[in-house]
Structure 1
Amino acid sequence: MAPHDLRRPFKRAAISDQQKRRELALLRQEQSRRDSQNHARTLASSVLSLQNEPPSELKSEPESPYEPVPETVCRDFDVVRASKLKGSEARQWFSRQLMLPEWMIDIPPRLNQDWYVFARPSGKRCFVVSSDGTTVSRLRNGYVLHHFPSSLPNGARTKDNSGPSNSYVFARPSGKRCFVVSSDGTTVSRLRNGYVLHHFPSSLPNGARTKDNSGPSNSFSLLDCIFHEPDQTYYVIDMVCWRGYSLSDCTAEFRFFWLNDKLAETGACNPPSSYHRYKFSVVPIYSCDLLGLHTAYNGHVPYVKDGLLFYNKHAHYQTGNTPLALVWKDETCSQYVLDTDSKGEVPAQQQIGIKMFSSSQHSIGVW
């Protein structure tokens, strides 16, 4: 046997191009996280050093050279600003923000440990934004799909009591009847004649100048959804912002936990009512082990399936196509295995795209 044949059984298997890009994407996001942490530590150290420095020793210093702000900080600022955009500016911004999956062309390592899987609802992929007392859904091209009130935070101007129209009875406490108003970082109680009873800080939303967990009154939320026409439901597959707090730099594992926990608190998953037109619903998400994959593939769901989506548990919410999110379709789990035209009919010829990725070893990607 030739010497090189002896070494062949121990040769490491070739790594696919998609796996290389997955590893690179995770490295980039880890570096971005470290940059953000270092930036935060620098700011905190600067503030503490200024607080501890005696006033007599304070001296004016020359302005430091400009240092670029980490991309994660810029993205958070863009999300806040985008919630107030209108018209063509809003369309252009939202058309570039969705995280889009790549086709699954190989099996990622540690699929059963590092990945989630769920049945993708058939419908229109969109962002749903609740802000300033209204809710707007925008399609992949940025155009508005629906404009409606919802139970999402700041998603409606009218508080909806959508429960049963029964009567209630309770024991009335003895005391002074009053209104309690929390606004602009303070809380005020006013008697029936309008006079102030108390002026105090509280844990009510915007009831104290300290930061509370309810978020500012002008906060917004941003959900990644698929609108399912048959039951007029927005199926939420990811959460990007909640009450003004960005989750784009959080792992998918945390975002999915936060999504299920917070959406249930709002009542947005309740049946529609006069003030909350569309129902929201979360999709069942499974760890991608044998049982989870089988359930997602063959299990019953209340919507029409359009393939399977695979999300890496450690992936942040990245705009554009990413190898950390994958899609699989076949005739069992999707009715749209082949491309269809605007009428839903299969054209006579199918198209395929080929893209060259520049690297030390040229490779070809297909989608």
Structure 2
Amino acid sequence: MNNISAIMSLEKAEMETTAEDGKSSRICLYKKPIKRDNYKVEPEWEETPQEVRRKRLLHHQKECRDAAFNAGRTMLEDAPFSEEENQDPMDVEKVRYPSRKHTNKQYANKLMMSEWMVDVPEDLVEKWWMVPCPRGRRNLLVARKGKTEVYSRRGEKLAEFQSALPGGHADEMNRNCTLLDCIWVPKHKIYYVLDVLAWSTQPLLNCDAEFRRFWLQSQLHENEDLKLQGTKRNQFPILALPSVSCDNNLSEFLSNLPPLPFLDGLLFYHKEGYYMHGFTPLVTWLKPYMLPEILGVSVPAPMDEKPEGYVNMMQHISSRSKRKEVSISAELVMETASDG
């Protein structure tokens, strides 16, 4: 299979993971599962679409390993940096909505997005880990050609500054390039790193999540400058997030969690999953207060506090979806009015 065919095949598989038939499997969450090792990982129902899509995607990623590598290499080599783009750096502290000319398509829709954990993975204990996620803004950090740029999920350039990342400061005007999937917490002015797409010109899209996390943790901990704030070499701290394998005691991990900004939720990564753009069943999401309901895992206060009106996970997902639809409709009405 040549490179083009491999990439097309990989993209087709990704589309299939999100284009299953309309029948929802979420009702399965209401059935009483069998507990094992304090996790509800042996459901009494048969395979459901989310679990099927996980297996399908894992198989396809292994077949298209070369395509993932080539996609990462292309992302590093072909990223445009025009003079016009460099003339308008933005202050990270200012809320600005860049016009279309500031949107870089090379970095649009490159982030890997999670799905709700509507089906508990069969291999949760053996092949998953959990990462606490602070509340903030999801960004793609691009360190290249002596500067560090921040892009939104849509590829909008939000900020530019100096960092100690390879390729991210004026002392490094070489070909080093680093791409990180981060969460920006404005109140604390800190970037927390969720994942790595490339480090110092080394693409990591074709590496499994377990290797990516090991690589990321070691690189971030070795570079002390990345922990500093307001220095000439590093303007904002770029820090790793703690993580734990799901074969450990999750309750104990959460009880002894190091200080973090407000905890928004918990990400679960399949250790064998590659980094891919868009939504994937190999990364799932739960709110902390959902752990007792879904996994049978107790959480310490105040993580167990539920929002007002919360009934269960399915009702919560449904209400969020309806609010999102209303918001999108309102935006379309506003756009139509302004066009008129």
- Give me the TM-score of the superposition, normalised by structure 1: 0.60
Contact 2:80 2:106 in 1 (8 A): no
Is the alpha carbon distance of 1:274 and 1:301 closer, same or farther for their aligned partners in structure 2, counting shifts above 3 Å?
A: closer
For 2:222 and 2:182, the matched residues in 1 are separated by: 18
Output aligned runs, 1:92-241, within 5 Å. Answer: 92-158=105-171, 217-241=174-198
Q: CA deviation at 1:291?
A: 1.0
- Match for 1:252: what amino acid? A
The question of whether the paired residues in 1 share the 8 Å contact of 2:209 and 2:269 is answered with: yes
Distance in 2 between the 1:328 and 1:132 partners? Answer: 38
- Deviations, residues 204-240 of structure 1 (Å, cap 9, x unaligned): xxxxxxxxxxxx9212100110001221100011111
Identity across matched positions, percent: 29
What is the match of residue 75 of structure 2?
A: 78
Q: Which whole-Å deviations, capped at 9, do the CAs of 1:158-197 have from their partners, x for residues lacking one?
A: 59xxxxxxxxxxxxxxxxxxxxxxxxxxxxxxxxxxxxxx
Q: Which protein is richer in helix relative to its size?
A: 2
Structure 1, unmatched stretches of 5+, are 1-11, 37-69, 160-215, 339-348, 355-367
Task: Write the distance in 2 (CA, Å) between the matches of 1:223 and 1:266.
Answer: 15
Which residue does the alignment assign to 2:57? 25
Secondary structure at the aligned position of 1:105 is classed as coil
- Could you tell me which amino acid in structure 2 is paired with residue 219 of structure 1? N
Which residue pairs with 1:61 in the alignment? none
User: Following the alignment from structure 1 to structure 2, what is the Cα–Cα distance between the partners of residues 32 and 337?
Assistant: 42
Stretches of structure 2 that go unaligned for 5 or more consecutive residues are 1-43, 86-99, 290-301, 309-318, 325-340
1:255-334 correspondence to structure 2 within 5 Å = 255-275=212-232, 276-292=234-250, 294-296=252-254, 299-331=257-289, 333=303
Kept after mapping to 1: 8 A contact 2:140/2:182: yes
Q: Cα distance, 1:142 vs. partner? A: 1.5
State the partner residue of 1:248.
205
Q: Is the 8 A contact 1:308 1:333 kept in 2?
A: no
* CA RMSD across the alignment: 3.0
SS at match of 1:129: strand
Q: Which has the larger radius of gyration?
A: 1
* Secondary structure at 2:226 match in 1: coil
Structure 1, 84-93 or 231-240: larger mean CA deviation: 84-93
1:100 match: secondary structure: strand
Closer/same/farther in 2, CA of residues 30 and 234 from structure 1, 3 Å limit: same
CA distance in 1: counterparts of 2:56 and 2:101, whole angstroms: 34
